[in-house]
Structure 1
Amino acid sequence: MDNLIKMIEKLTNTFGAPGYEDEVIEVIKKELPFLSSERDSINNLYMGLHEKEANTNRPTVALDCHTDEVGFIVENVNRNGSISFLTLGGWHVGNVPASAVLIKNSRGEYIRGIVTSKPPHFMTDEERNRLPKMSELTIDIGTSSYEETTEMYGIEVGNPIVPDVTFVYDEKIEIMRAKAFDNRLGCAASIEVLKAVRDEKIENVNVVGAFASQEEVGLRGAQVAAYRVKPDFAIVFEGSPADDSFKEGTAAHGALKKGVQLRVVDGAMISNPRVLKFAKDIANKKGIKYQVIAREKGSTNGGKYHISETGIPVLVLGIPTRYIHTHYSYASIDDLKSAISLAIEVIKELNYDVIKGF
């Protein structure tokens, strides 16, 4: 297992519900010890921001990704010891019952549990023929009373929760399976590009890693990061929904092993066509695989960057991810490498005149 895959394993196994991204931040800082680091009150992490402020004669490129993952939060501890919860991010209720979760309690301990699901033996006909409501679901940690859950296991209202999943890599087909590919794959891409900027001595632009918090609950961290970094150009990495498990042939625009996704439109942004052409031309010249997608719904942090200040040109680079916003997702290491390679080549071609042309 190479170093990149080991880093992804570490990033995806790490706990990082929206607003509680602290452990992910520490992993990122350890991967980039050669850069300055700064964290703000919303839990954004900025890598290389101070270096940018010392070189004001160059344009600045923000490498954006988000550190949070879809999760839950404790809403109440019930009399029988079960835990009621609220969602953090876009879950579909059909993907939640009978799944394993990890709760970080008030003592900083990890408590394992499962989301409850009523056995079919006890279901009414009406219950058999409908999905449950999210408010009907609870988490069971094996306890039988309020006191056991709160006193013995330290569970309190407000404790964050994430899926309990461990990373695996299939070397035969070079496919990864884990939680939180949305967007720890983006975090891995940003880290690798920042390392390449150092190793290849790329000095035509300042490159700042903007590791944003709380994307899954409304792109909140990115709104702050855009104003803090004030980039001239932004590259947004995202673990982006793959559609090749339910679409075939030319209808699938987000397929594993077909390359990085270039996003034309989504629910929060219409991509700048001049930026897209610039990226496509470089990809074609360098032989980097890519696919173009148009999405009616969903969004990325690009939705905040492109309307920040007087408008920032944005390139969204997606890594296709099957079964996004569920416990288990698949992604290809080759697609991630395509995203990293394209970002590096784009950065090498940027200067003030090129950026003004967008």
Structure 2
Amino acid sequence: MKKEKSIQLIQDLSNARGISSFEDEVTALFKDEVKDAGTVTEDHMRNVFVNQPFNSGDRPVVELDAHSDEVGFMIRAIKPNGQMMFVNVGGWAMVTVPAQKVKVRNHDGEWLSGIVSSTPPHFMTAEERTRLPKPDELSIDVGASSAQEVRDVYGIEIGAPVVPDVTCEYNEKSGLFLGKAFDNRIGTALLAATMNDIATEQLDVDVVAGLSSQEEVGDRGAEVVVRKIKPDLAIVFEGAPADDTVMPDYLIQSGLRKGPMLRDFDSTIVTNPHFQRFALDVAAENNIPVQRSVRTGGGQDGAIINRYNGAPTIVISVPVRYAHTPYCFIALEDYQNALELAKLIIKKLNANVLSNF
């Protein structure tokens, strides 16, 4: 994929709005991007499937996975004064939530601007000024002064999805993107680009892409996708939290501009060591920089896929600084190296290779 097209795709996916179960904008973009890459279908859970054109049905099946949803919020209740209580959808640290500008979707599908509000410092007690606000002390304000105004004028209801209001930027000089939702819109971009780039390849395996929904609330889409694809092997594309601003040098395992990260372990998966070694060897043979990680927490769709019939699974991640906040950095070169590595791995796969994993 050409650089200019990659940049536009990443920006468009970052800007798309889609918390768990509300991924419609993302799936629409993805389906349009891969419409010439194979047979494309979508289920009622907002999972999207792409079958490579030369799949024969009698070869090992390789699943390529990414998830489409982002962390956000949902309206829980509307107070008499027009302030709206909300719940977190996905993992948020409270320190990053107050004072965000957000978009709230009303019942007509319009996205309305609002802010995450809290008690102004002028009205805080001395104790309140020294601690983070509690979730119930925060609200979302769209400028309304009554619950009736929220419902009748703004058209917002309980259950409305909410996302950070951020427009993705690309800096040509640094090669960095600054935007929201790179967990996991960068994985979504990798999934689309990989399927497009192998669309005309005569491979020795059948390749099926599964863009899964609702990962941020428990890998729910992946549970459905893996049962439909029934893979013999899987590659998961992720946007992994970068650690190069919070860890000492000897513990950095997902730094920007250091290449994609291949995880050996997290709280949900022990990566198949044979497939992992194969991927690392492919990277070394082709001078592709990679990073390895052993995480003490975290999780992703690969654990669900691996537990289904034991399919060997690796995770190729683009490092994301400040993941699960409204503003994140990623490096274009990490994305490009991840894409190249994935394609080289896929082209080397066959039944004999898989038997050694």
Which residue number in structure 2 is paired with residue 20 of structure 1?
22
Q: Which moved more, 1:244-253 or 1:205-214?
A: 244-253
- Give a deviation string over 1:148-197, Cα, whole Å, max 9, x none: 11100100011111111000011111000100000000010011111111
Code of the residue aligned with 2:300 in structure 1: it is T
Does structure 1 conserve the Cα–Cα contact (< 8 Å) formed by 2:101 and 2:164? yes
Q: Does 1:325 align with 2:324?
A: yes
Alignment map for 1:140-151 (pairs within 5 Å): 140-151=141-152
Q: Deviations over 1:90-145 (max 9, x none)?
A: 01111100001111111101111000032222110110121111122100101111
- Unaligned stretches of 5+ in structure 1? none
Q: How many angstroms apart in 2 are the aligned matches of 1:306 and 1:65?
A: 14
Q: TM-score, normalised by structure 1?
A: 0.97
SS of the equivalent of 1:125 reads coil
SS of residue paired to 1:86: strand
3-state secondary structure, aligned to 1:176? strand
- In 2: Cα distance, 1:202 partner to 1:165 partner: 41
Q: Counterparts in 2 of 1:208-247, with a 5 A limit?
A: 208-247=208-247
1:85 maps to 2:86: yes
CA contact (8 A) 2:264 2:294 kept: yes
**Residues in 2 aligned to 1:279 and 1:36: alpha-carbon distance in whole angstroms:** 27
Which runs of structure 1 show a deviation greater than 4 angstroms over 4 or more consecutive aligned residues? none
Distance 1:16 1:321 in 2: 18
Among residues 40, 45, 53, which one is paired with 1:42 in the alignment? 45
Aligned to 2:300: 300
Aligned ranges 1:250-329 → 2 under 5 Å:
250-308=250-308, 310-329=309-328
| Counterpart for residue 164 of structure 2 | 163
Give the total of aligned pairs.
Answer: 354
Q: Which residue of 2 aligns with 1:137?
A: 138
CA contact (8 A) 2:239 2:318 kept: yes
Q: How much does 1:44 deviate?
A: 0.7
| Counterparts of residues 52-63 of structure 1 (less than 5 Å) | 55-63=56-64
**1:194 paired residue number:** 195
| In structure 2, C-alpha distance between the alignment counterparts of 1:218 and 1:94, rounded to whole Å | 23
> How far did 1:29 drift?
0.8
Inter-partner Cα distance in structure 2 for 1:32 and 1:292:
30
* Alignment check: 8 A CA contact 2:168 2:180 kept: yes
CA contact (8 A) 2:118 2:137 kept: no
Task: Give the Cα separation in 2 of the matches to 1:337 and 1:326.
Answer: 24
Q: Structure 2 unaligned segments of length 5 or more: list them.
A: none
Distance in 2 (CA, whole Å) between partners of 1:336 and 1:232 is 25
Aligned-partner Cα distance in 1 for 2:41–2:356? 32
Cα RMSD (Å): 1.2
CA deviation vs aligned residue, 1:331-352 (integer Å, no higher than 9, x gap): 0000011111111011011111
Partner letter of residue 314 of structure 1?
T
Provide the rounded CA distance (Å) in 2 between the counterparts of 1:105 and 1:67: 21
Deviation at 1:42, TM superposition (A): 1.8
Letter in 2 for 1:78: K
Structure 2 counterpart of 1:262, which letter? Answer: L
Task: Please tell me whether the aligned partners of residues 267 and 299 of structure 2 are also in contact (alpha carbons under 8 angstroms).
Answer: yes
Tell me how far apart the structure 1 counterparts of residues 131 and 172 of structure 2 sit (CA, whole Å): 40
* CA–CA distance in structure 2, aligned partners of residues 43 and 196 of structure 1: 24
Distance 2:251 2:65 in 1: 29
Query: CA offsets, 1:19-78, max 9 Å, x none?
Result: 0001111101111112222112221111127x57x6112221111000000011111111
Q: Deviations over 1:195-238 (max 9, x none)?
A: 11124x24212211100000000001001111001111110000
Superposition deviation, residue 2 in structure 1: 0.7
| Aligned AA (2:44) | S
Mapped to 1, the partners of 2:318 and 2:232 lie a distance apart of 24
For residues 177 and 267 of structure 1, what CA distance do their matches in structure 2 show?
A: 28
Partners of 2:176 and 2:341 lie apart in 1 by: 20
- Determine the C-alpha separation between the residues in 2 that align with 1:202 and 1:68: 32
Distance in 2 between residues matched to 1:118 and 1:2, nearest whole Å: 44
Which stretch shifts more, 313-322 or 244-253?
244-253
TM-score between both structures, scaled by the size of structure 2: 0.97
Distance 1:220 1:338 in 2: 29
Query: 1:248: Cα distance to partner?
Result: 3.5
Letter of the 1:263 partner, please give it: R
Percent sequence identity is: 41
**Deviations, residues 249-305 of structure 1 (Å, cap 9, x unaligned):** 222111000000010111110111111110111000011110011111110100100
Residue of structure 2 equivalent to 1:204: 204
Structure 2 residue identity aligned to 1:136: E
**For residue 118 of structure 2, what is the aligned residue in structure 1?**
117
The amino acid of 1:230's aligned partner reads K
1:270 and 1:356 map into 2 onto residues whose CA distance is: 19
Task: Name the counterpart of 1:33.
Answer: 35
